[in-house]
Chains A and B, each alone.
Chain A
């Protein structure tokens, strides 16, 4: 059974600082996803990582995937308050269908 774990679960950081959120998964996964969720809102797709070594960047966020280590990271560069949200990673094992298995989420607060 695929398990996805994120850490940290809570992250409070100052504006302008850098930080990394980690996402480990337990079995071979075909794809890794990152989503953002604002309080009471839906899940916004940030990145889909398809292969080992994949790196994608959008603004101050950069996601990478190491399939050998079963690890994905979401790196935040020079954080700003608008990045405050909960970030979820999710993985898929295609032989088990197309269900996304989510991590617990990382609640990020960026303080001025």
Chain B
């Protein structure tokens, strides 16, 4: 069964560094999302992406964040200058029709 994949599974970075989190959505899906989950808290929406552009973003998704679909398969989330409070699990999700969203295994980001 097709799955969303994410790399790396765990990323440790120092405050102020840039990180890029990578996702490979399910191949025939058209809608892509990033969510995050701070340890022990609920899942929060960051951004949605459709037709090669951002369709919606949350208040969390400020100028430090960007997304890109550099080729036909990858979907990336970049954080330009990480802060301690960016430490979280980041989930990528994809959807074929914008209804059922399928989540990847997540990347645990630790900012020290």
> Interface of A with B (CB < 8 Å)?
31, 33, 35, 41-45, 48, 50, 88, 90, 96-105
CA distance A98 to B32 in the complex (A): 10
B55 an interface residue at 8 Å Cβ cutoff? yes
| CB pair A42 B91 closer than 8 Å | yes
The answer to whether B105 touches A102, judged by C-beta atoms less than 8 angstroms apart, is: no
14 contacts between A and B (CB under 8 A): A33-B101, A41-B106, A42-B91, A43-B43, A43-B91, A44-B103, A97-B55, A98-B55, A98-B56, A99-B56, A100-B33, A100-B35, A102-B42, A102-B43
Residues of B within 8 A of A31 (CB): 99
Q: Please measure, in the bound complex, the distance between the C-alpha atom of A101 and the C-alpha atom of B46, giving whole angstroms.
A: 11
Which chain A residue shows the least CB distance to B95?
A: A98
- Would you call B31 and A42 a contact (CB within 8 A)? no
User: Is B91 within 8 A of A99, CB to CB?
Assistant: no
Which of B56, B91, B100, B104 contacts A48 (CB under 8 A)? Answer: B100
CB-nearest residue of chain B to A43: B103
Dominant SS at the B interface? strand
B2 to chain A, nearest CB (A): 13
- Extra inter-chain contacts (8) besides given A44-B103, A100-B43, CB under 8 Å: A31-B99, A41-B106, A45-B102, A48-B99, A48-B100, A50-B99, A98-B55, A100-B45
Residue of B33, B42, B101, B104 near A105 (CB, 8 A) is: B42
| Chain B residues whose CB sits within 8 angstroms of the CB of A96 once the complex forms | 56
B93, chain A: closest CB distance, angstroms: 8
Q: Is B58 interfacial (CB 8 A cutoff)?
A: yes
Find the B residue at minimum CB distance from A104: B42
- Once the chains are docked, how many angstroms separate the CA of A48 from the CA of B33? 17
Contact of A98 among B31, B58, B103 (CB under 8 A): B31
Beyond A43-B91, A88-B42, A105-B42, is A98–B48 a contact (Cβ under 8 Å)? yes
